Structure 1
């Protein structure tokens, strides 16, 4: 990633980091509150003719549609980001996700409008994923393209703290409502309140981002006329191998995160019979600690390189999944929290540095599209199917060791993909780092 070639006053990095963190937190709040609702209430409300297991699977199926939409959102908003600037992406993606989330809270149940209800749910979940697919690329580039080289990992970790903040907001809201309302009240209307709250959060996010400046590297591209006319085509044709490797590399982190935060919630409440407030409290504790560790691990990435941390994170996930399942099945809050924390430690060791790592793999002219599509392709491979697969594998007596085997296999897949990617931190790999993978590397690294 080249230094800023354009003159002008230096922007406030803390202000930019706050804007990027706030936006990703709000958008991931929207995305996560759906996952929590899918684990707890959407099955009976929108798929009442199904058995309890089939209803949960169907609800998680609509959850997965959001992941399938994310690469499409990356392509659409990535085109905007590479052609017209990173700033429009920040505003448009936040608005789309917020409106779709509020609308989910307004959809009548199957009992009121029949089959139209799950169809509307599916459509709105798709729009949620579309908006979130564009958010990550814009937020990460806002910090990555403004940050000084030696601190790029640190500043680019702020958008990566957005997901845990969004998760805590979403599940904290559900936790309060669960404690304050009866089961009948929560099922009748209480679950809708977090979706309606997304409207206020979206307005707050738009206000925070209203004065965000365009990044220096995009200004340089616009000035020299070297923007890509067809960013997606350029990325797919020139860097398809890089896209597949980054998608596979990130798949494990997604799988582990959603197994921990979404599947575990459903399994613990329905299979183990635990109270949802207890399970949510355990998960939230682990997620908060994950968020606090993110900037610390990002600093290590600035000092020792992106790739070593990514490899270490995948290795932790590979060896921890069987203890994770055993601790979950112990049904003890302290042991469950330990299991969740170990799993998320592996995940965050990788994801703390990808905010800097992925943009550094692509040239500025296709960076918004390439980084975002690669990131969200990992979401499809690891996040979309994991709750469904894990729920199916856990249908039976005894600990769900099949889930542990599945997650460990995903971790080994990601480990192999990261091993084939280059180091991009110039402080570790030297000048010329981050030049893409072998085929198409010269074009990927060519100065814009």
Structure 2
């Protein structure tokens, strides 16, 4: 069936779901990334004043990484219920968890006010943020992919991915406005709280949108056929272990590049190159605008060229660009910094664009929420949680070549995972109802 042969009503619903997924993930990533920006700009002084400058920066980034520890928990729990009761309800749940946690961070007392309880509560709320976003990605991706026209699943699947650069863009703009309007002392004292409090209004918008979309037709067919698994997470590891391995390793490189650009490079530009904070934030704003366009093109390329070839091009570009990126950044020239970051985000986008369709298609519908969520969260823990801290530590000891080497190694891991993955791994075969019953006793041959 061609992408144009579906009914106009279904095409309209598919577009609505794709846009709704994009808006919802943008709000969730805005919440997630305002924490990252605040961690690099003010959390060292507000929550870790007893540490040295490097120690405080690492402690603040460590609380950022804590969110990644909770993400697989959120992914597993919401994946379980997403495969049992539906995708839509889990999307609403994840948005509520994220919104409440983010708003509470905005009113959290500092170390000077309540002592050690301040960083403890900060970590607890960060864990809640991680749990919320942990169940977000797979649900939003599945809603977009499973509603999409058959030959446009990669394009529609990349809409939730656009929430990443859009969330970065929105978070940077909010902080830029605040740092431009407020004196530095006022921003450090209370102004940093405003972006977190804005989240309350954004969450209401997201909820209104998500409550109006319909459940995935693919899931409804599984439920109607009586193929819903009792313990989908267990069955994912039992029946599709190779898919979990390949999908997880493949999911490391894109978040590594994304978080190094959005978190590590802000800290590097301001602390090492001694550039104004606003300069680095405006640079990321410009990069994020292009990021969205490149990712859309990569999503379309996943349908035209294929998921696997498109992904491999992005991974290869990140390997080639890892060292030149820092050579250009270290010039201190805003033009070359911008060029360096645009190319590395292009590598990220070319991988991330087809990634949703690539990973979700590894799993049958009845295990898809759990399987794709596990892969994405494992990749994000390593690529997004560990990478910025490891990059900061490596730079302190060995300089930029060590950070570039880190990017090369991680990118090669993801490249080889997809390069050597066979079609039986990359494309799940959906069983008939009798086969589904039999598969409860035998591993799936996917």
TM-score, length basis structure 2: 0.93
Cα offset, 1:328, TM superposition: 1.6
Residue correspondence of structure 1 range 12-411 to structure 2 within 5 A: 12-395=13-396, 400-411=400-411
Indicate the SS of the match to 1:385.
helix
Indicate the SS of the match to 1:394.
helix
Cα offset, 1:244, TM superposition: 2.1
Distance in 2 (CA, whole Å) between partners of 1:9 and 1:35 is 40
Whether the aligned pair in 1 keeps the contact of 2:13 and 2:147 (CA below 8 Å) is no
Whether the aligned pair in 2 keeps the contact of 1:70 and 1:134 (CA below 8 Å) is yes
Distance in 2 (CA, whole Å) between partners of 1:370 and 1:385 is 22
Structure 2 segments unaligned to the other structure (5+ residues): 431-438
Cα offset, 1:298, TM superposition: 1.2
Distance in 2 (CA, whole Å) between partners of 1:134 and 1:338 is 34
Distance in 1 (CA, whole Å) between partners of 2:393 and 2:8 is 56
Distance in 1 (CA, whole Å) between partners of 2:104 and 2:374 is 26
Indicate the SS of the match to 1:211.
coil
> What RMSD, in angstroms, separates the aligned Cα atoms of the two structures?
2.1
Cα offset, 1:72, TM superposition: 1.0
Cα offset, 1:444, TM superposition: 4.7
Cα offset, 1:296, TM superposition: 1.4
Distance in 2 (CA, whole Å) between partners of 1:12 and 1:139 is 14
Whether the aligned pair in 1 keeps the contact of 2:238 and 2:443 (CA below 8 Å) is no
Cα offset, 1:413, TM superposition: 1.1
Cα offset, 1:222, TM superposition: 1.4
Indicate the SS of the match to 2:49.
coil
Cα offset, 1:396, TM superposition: 5.9
Distance in 2 (CA, whole Å) between partners of 1:267 and 1:47 is 19
Whether the aligned pair in 1 keeps the contact of 2:240 and 2:443 (CA below 8 Å) is no
Residues 381-411 of structure 1: per-residue CA shift (max 9 Å, x gap): 11111111111122269x5221111111111
* 1:103–1:424 CA distance, 2 compared to 1 (3 A): farther
Distance in 2 (CA, whole Å) between partners of 1:56 and 1:166 is 23
Cα offset, 1:420, TM superposition: 2.7
Cα offset, 1:261, TM superposition: 1.1
Indicate the SS of the match to 2:318.
helix
Distance in 1 (CA, whole Å) between partners of 2:30 and 2:232 is 29
* 1:337–1:8 CA distance, 2 compared to 1 (3 A): closer
Distance in 1 (CA, whole Å) between partners of 2:171 and 2:247 is 28
Cα offset, 1:421, TM superposition: 2.4
Distance in 2 (CA, whole Å) between partners of 1:172 and 1:92 is 27
Residues 56-110 of structure 1: per-residue CA shift (max 9 Å, x gap): 0001101001111111111011111100001101100011001101111111110
Whether the aligned pair in 1 keeps the contact of 2:40 and 2:60 (CA below 8 Å) is yes
Distance in 1 (CA, whole Å) between partners of 2:246 and 2:126 is 27
Aligned positions, number: 430
Whether the aligned pair in 2 keeps the contact of 1:154 and 1:298 (CA below 8 Å) is yes
Distance in 1 (CA, whole Å) between partners of 2:300 and 2:245 is 27
After the TM superposition, list the runs of 4 or more consecutive aligned residues in structure 1 that deviate by more than 3 angstroms: 422-425, 433-436, 442-446
* 1:347–1:435 CA distance, 2 compared to 1 (3 A): farther
Whether the aligned pair in 2 keeps the contact of 1:305 and 1:424 (CA below 8 Å) is no
Cα offset, 1:318, TM superposition: 0.7
Distance in 2 (CA, whole Å) between partners of 1:115 and 1:445 is 53
Indicate the SS of the match to 2:187.
helix
Indicate the SS of the match to 2:221.
helix
Whether the aligned pair in 1 keeps the contact of 2:318 and 2:344 (CA below 8 Å) is yes
Indicate the SS of the match to 1:108.
coil
Distance in 2 (CA, whole Å) between partners of 1:247 and 1:12 is 31
Cα offset, 1:319, TM superposition: 1.1
TM-score, length basis structure 1: 0.92
Cα offset, 1:347, TM superposition: 0.8
